[in-house]
Amino acid sequence: MKHLNLTLGVIAAMTFVACSPSKTVDNNQPATLDLNKNVSVEATAPLAVADLSFVQLSNDTVDAFFKNATILDVAGDTVILLENNPMASRLIMYSLTDGSYLGQISHQGQGPGEYARIIGAFVDGSNGTVLLPDFHTPAVNVYALASDSLVNVLSREFVPSVITPTGGVESCINVACPTPDGLDIIQYDRTYAIADSISVPGFRGGNFSTLWLNAGTQGVFMIGDTIYTLTPGELNPIAIAPRGDMAITPDTESDIMMELYSGADDIEVLKPYILIRDIQLSDGKMLITTMTDAKKHSDLYDLNNGRLIYRNTYQTLDKPSMILVDGDGHKALQVERLFAKNGRWYGIVSEDIAGEINGIPTGDTNCAIVTFNL
199: Cβ contacts below 8 Å, ≥ 6 apart:
21, 22, 23, 182, 183, 184, 185
For residue 245, what are the CA distances in angstroms to 44, 69, 242, 248, 249? 26, 34, 9, 8, 9
- CATH numeric code, 15-19+27-373: 2.120.10.30
Name the residue ranges covered by the structural domains of the chain. Answer: 15-19+27-373
The answer to whether 104 touches 148, Cβ cutoff 8 Å, is: yes
The DSSP code for 9 is T
Q: Which strands, in side-by-side order, build the sheet including 69-75? A: 69-75, 78-85, 88-95, 101-105
User: How does pLDDT run along the chain (374 residues), one tens digit per residue?
Assistant: 334 443 333 343 344 444 445 555 555 689 999 999 898 899 999 999 999 998 999 888 888 888 889 999 999 999 999 998 777 789 999 999 999 999 998 866 555 555 557 889 999 999 999 999 887 778 898 999 998 888 999 988 888 787 899 999 999 999 999 888 889 999 999 999 999 999 999 877 678 888 899 999 999 999 888 999 999 999 999 999 999 999 998 788 989 999 999 999 999 999 999 999 999 999 999 999 999 999 999 999 999 999 999 999 999 998 999 999 997 666 789 999 999 999 999 999 975 554 454 455 554 457 899 999 99
Q: What is the phi/psi pair of residue 47, to 5°?
A: -75, 125
The answer to whether 33 touches 240, Cβ cutoff 8 Å, is: yes
